[in-house]
Structure 1
Amino acid sequence: MTLARTAVRGSAASIGGQGFRIVLQLVGLAVLARLLEPADFGVVAMVTAAIGLADILRDFGLSSAAVQAPSVSRGERVNLFWANTGLGLLCTVAVAASTPLLVALYDEPTLAHIVPALSLVLLISGINTQYRADLGRALRFVALASSDVLAQLVGTLVAIAVALLGGGYWAIVAQQLTVAVVALVVNVVSTRWRPGLPQRCTSIRRFFRFGLSVFGTQVLGYAAKNADTVALGAFWGSSVLGGYNRAQQIAVVPLNQINGPLTRVALPMLSKAHLDPARFSRAVLRAQLAGAYGTATVLAFVAGLAVPIVAVLLGPGWSEAAPILALLAIAGVFRSLSQLAYWMFLSSGRPGAQFALDLWAQPVMVAVIVLGASQGAVGAAWAAVAVWPVYWIVGLLVASRSAGLAAGPLVWRAVRALLGVALPAALASWYVSQAIDGPLIALAAGLAAGAALVAVVALAVRPVRRDVAEVVTLVRHAAQRGEKTSPQP
């Protein structure tokens, strides 16, 4: 079976699994929004910002290094496992010890209970890191998707149960811990691999060298993506942050649940293709289709239908989240497109080039976002709209030059997708939905109108029609094939 077909099937398996996960997340979000208060979400969001930063240290880029490497020996796998487990334990202890600092930063006493509990996620994820990398390196994308779906299902059910029992913010804490534990158990069963004791005679320095640049890039990127959360919590407190966090959660569902699995598919595929310039160029152009015509279009619908989406998912009392959601969805379109540059940097073995870019670009983004957050939740959302399109263009130009590819075709294909599909979808869905009373009917009518206009554009505009036809062909071919079970390296 060719690498291209494996990539197609992997993409289909990952996106299909994430489709179920998106549904689960949205159902859980809708139920929990009616059982909990905005402040409950806000206090947990204060902690998850710190947890997420420590989680990057826990990984240290070693998962990407393991997937990108042409080969990984058994001794290296064992040592990588213990390295990530040790980093996970270190991060758990460090975050738990930082509890007084976080309580003082946010002036929120309840964090004294939440921080130590959520810090355990870091240890569990540390143990799981190389199991996930092992499945990705073996191209076992169905197994990865199954793990994600099952973990999300069990976590959602646990959260709803705790909320019904009056647990408040503990429902969200229990959800995150449950997801981490279930994912670990399923991945251990799937890999059927048991690490032995660390092997002193086997060096993993090459993985740390690669991971160091990835780690630096991820820290800077995380700061830009979470500066709004930290700043809003510090400036305005848990209630304002809770409303913003729910809008953000809806906006990032397509980003996390589509781009995450696509990264697990795209990175090993592009890494195998990068030694052949012509093959790598074709693979990059094909990889861009998923973000430009997939995630970006979904987010365009979210932007256009923000008002009925908030009314349906979050219910009464959350109307102020609608304009925030619309703005964050627009920013998310360009966050999605910027993922391609990330794939290009890593798959071509040039993480240092992205780190050099982010060393100056991300601090500028953080400064703009913090300035916007000082004006409130809407200000933070507008700041995101301002910075992400610029970062996308700059990142794509630098990544193309670093990988030896022409940036013009990549930029033009993305612009064509935005103008030909995403923009018509957003405008049509907004125009129809705002003229109809009743959020559920408005949502359905807006979706239908947007989809109809996109279909007309796809039929009438030849370049868009070719792109859409290629996406449809990829999906159809993927649907006709099952997962290939590759031997463990």
Structure 2
Amino acid sequence: MGDPDTGSPSLGRAAASGAGITLVSQGLRFVLQIIALVVLSRLLTPSDFGLVAMVTAILGVAEIIRDFGLSSAAIQAKELSDGERTNLFWANLGIGTACAAVAAACSPLIAAIYSRPELTGVTLALSWLFVVSGANTQFRAELSRSLRFRALAVTDVGAQALGIGAGILSAVLGFGFWSIVIQQIVFVVATCAINVVSCRWRPGWPHRGISLRRFFKFGAGLLGMQVMGYATNNVDTVALGSVWGAGPVGLYSRGYQLLMVPLSQVSNALLRVVLPVLSRVQDDDETYLRYVRRAQLLCCYGFGLSFAVAAGLSGPLVAVLFGAAWSGVAPIFALLAIGGIFRGLAQTTYWITLSKGLTGSQLRFYLLARPFMIISILAGLPWGAVGVAAGHSFAFMVEWAASLWWMGRSAGIDYRPLLRRALRSVLLVCVPAGLIALAGSMLPVPAVLRLVLGALAAAGYVVGLAVVSSTERADLRLMADFVQRATGRGRP
């Protein structure tokens, strides 16, 4: 009997097992990154973080170009020959090498933009990593396509631990902002090395007679989406650095990283499991929609509820993690976390776009939506990091609603049930839980106790809602079933 969500017993078991392994590994990475946030924030200054963030905000676009959407194209393809894999490897390596050369050549320009000469050395130290990442791209894609989630988990956790260890050791030894650079170098090199060792496939010499046209067609649309998305996500850092300097950028980058650590870890984990499965059942409309609805449920409770509560608890959360010297991060993070609710919900439309191969349509949407979002973010610049954070969250709230409508139009899916379900979760579950957490966090007790009491109060509200609402009870049962299946305790 086939799996009700995937249509295939083996695929259902692979998805459940992969979800469990991936979520555990991403949970470990989350813990490691929180440790790095806490420890490095106590060893380095806001200016140290701000200096490196100003460079990576610009160089990050080259990392997107280096991939060119070819990793997702390889995963999404129903069939992939060895010759195509080989040519994709050489394509990514060539693009990565070109990105490294351009980044190195632009190092004086980057230093001039911010009027900080030391950024020339930082840019040169990071630029050669594009070659390493280019070599790694198809090894990682092959592991993902083969559903080798355990190998990917080893890479993620191992490379993360090595990078963080190197960064903390460097900070203890007094390397200052170079500690963050060293952390990134060790992480990228270790990721590539472990993936190469884990992957059974090896590339040969390029094949002239094998075309990559279909992959570049898919990748070009995805590349455009990612570049537009990256510009939206990083224009805040570049603008703050140019106008307000390294200190405010350091505070903003801590708040932004506190948002993105759980968001990126969980979304990447789910993408790695969801994309191969959705791609394989994309022609079975009934099964596909059933899986999409459950995926959105995960986003509503996993992202929406978590970020709403985190926004309410921003004060004691920042105090416990970073200390009193970083109190300026709290209002920035609270505003960013509100936007994180909608960034999390938007993951569902992103999964549909990739699995249906609709990157061209989504790029057209980005060309309309992202300029509006950039303007919204920059509108807050006169009010510093807090104003930029407010503009950031407003932009992503509007973009989520518009993207859901656009996705439904492009994919031929009725978006209205998805919109209604998401709004119900936001208004009935997320917003009240966040406000209750905020009330609990304002009690006149130490920060740790305020954090615990606020979280317990929010949890109590959710449990109470489930008691009186049959819809919420049904949703929680689906969540529990997913967790059981992901950890191997439920039915295959």
TM range (shorter): over 0.9
Cross-structure match for 1:424: 432
Tell me what 1:479 maps to: 487
Gaps of 5+ in 1: 485-489
Distance 2:160 2:120 in 1: 26
Q: Who is 2:357 aligned against?
A: 349
- Map 1:462-473; keep pairs closer than 5 Å: 462-473=470-481
Equivalent of 1:97 in 88, 105, 130: 105
Name the counterpart of 1:292.
300
Residue correspondence of structure 1 range 10-49 to structure 2 within 5 A: 10-49=18-57
Q: Give me the whole-angstrom Cα distance separating, in 2, the residues matched to 1:480 and 1:262.
A: 16
Give 1:254's aligned residue: 262
- AA partner of residue 306 (structure 1): S
AA aligned opposite 2:144: G
2:386 to 378, 399, 408: 378
Q: Of residues 115, 120, 129 in structure 1, which corresponds to 2:123? A: 115
Instruction: Give the 5 Å matches for 1:330-341.
Output: 330-341=338-349
Paired position in structure 2 for 1:243: 251
Residue 194 of structure 1 pairs with residue 202 of structure 2: yes
**Aligned residues of 1:17 and 1:145 also touching (Cα < 8 A):** yes
3-state SS in 1 of match to 2:380: helix
Q: Which range moved further: 157-166 or 417-426?
A: 417-426
User: What is the CA–CA distance in structure 2 between the aligned matches of 1:448 and 1:458, rounded to whole Å?
Assistant: 15
Q: How far apart, CA to CA, are the structure 2 residues paired with 1:413 and 1:6?
A: 28
**Residues 125-158 of structure 1: per-residue CA shift (max 9 Å, x gap):** 1111111111111112222222111111111111
One-letter code aligned to 1:224: T
Query: Which residue of structure 1 aligns with residue 224 of structure 2?
Result: 216
User: Do the aligned partners of 1:61 and 1:211 also contact (CA within 8 Å) in 2?
Assistant: yes
Tell me, in whole angstroms, the C-alpha distance in 1 between the residues paired with 2:31 and 2:372: 35
Is the 8 Å Cα contact of residues 434 and 442 (structure 1) preserved in structure 2?
A: yes
CA distance in 1, matches of 2:419, 2:180: 40
CA contact (8 A) 1:232 1:377 kept: yes
Structure 2 CA distance for aligned equivalents of residues 207 and 48 of structure 1: 28
For residue 319 of structure 1, what is the aligned residue in structure 2? 327
8 Å CA contact retained: 1:78, 1:195 = yes
Report what 2:443 is aligned to. 435
Closer, same or farther: CA 348–231 of 1 in aligned 2, 3 Å: same
Distance 1:142 1:417, change over 3 A: farther
Asked if the contact 2:16–2:488 (Cα under 8 Å) also holds between the matched residues in 1, the reply is no
Q: Is 1:121–1:176's contact at 8 Å kept on the other side of the alignment? A: no
Q: Would you say how many aligned residue pairs link Structure 1 and Structure 2?
A: 483
Residue 6 (structure 1) aligned to one of 14, 36, 40 = 14
Superposition deviation, residue 481 in structure 1:
6.1
Residue type matched to 1:26 in 2?
I
Pairing of 1:51-70 with structure 2 (within 5 A) = 51-70=59-78
Residue aligning to 1:397: 405
Which residue is equivalent to 1:458? 466
For 1:216, the aligned partner's letter is: G
SS of alignment partner, residue 175 of structure 2: coil
**Residue 90 of structure 2 is aligned with which of 82, 94, 97?**
82
CA contact (8 A) 1:231 1:374 kept: no
Give, in angstroms, the shift of residue 416 of structure 1.
Answer: 2.4
TM-score, reference length from structure 1: 0.96
**1:445-480 deviation per Cα after TM superposition (whole angstroms, max 9, x unaligned):** 212221122111122211111111101101112212
Structure 2: gaps of 5 or more residues: 1-8
Is 1:420–1:458's contact at 8 Å kept on the other side of the alignment? Answer: no
Q: Which residue of 1 aligns with 2:181?
A: 173
Distance 1:333 1:3 in 2: 30
* Deviation string, structure 1 residues 6-26 (Cα, Å, up to 9, x no partner): 223222221211111111111
DSSP 3-state at the match of 2:325: coil
For 1:424 and 1:189, the matched residues in 2 are separated by: 48
Aligned to 2:171: 163
In structure 2, the residue corresponding to 1:72 is in which secondary structure?
coil
Match of 1:140 among 129, 139, 148: 148
Percent identity of paired positions between Structure 1 and Structure 2? 47
2:6 aligned partner = none
Are the aligned partners of 1:235 and 1:374 in contact in 2 as well (CA < 8 Å)?
no
Q: Is the 8 A contact 2:309 2:434 kept in 1?
A: yes
Quote how far apart the aligned CAs of 1:261 are. 1.4
- Cα pair distance change 1:161/1:87, threshold 3 Å: same
Residue 437 of structure 1: CA displacement?
2.1
Q: Deviations over 1:374-430 (max 9, x none)?
A: 331011011012111110011011111211111111112212222333223312221
Deviation at 1:251, TM superposition (A): 1.0
In structure 2, the residue matched to 1:487 is none
* TM-score of the aligned structures, taking structure 2 as reference length: 0.96
Distance 2:305 2:159 in 1: 27
* Alpha-carbon distance in 2 for matches of 1:143, 1:295: 26
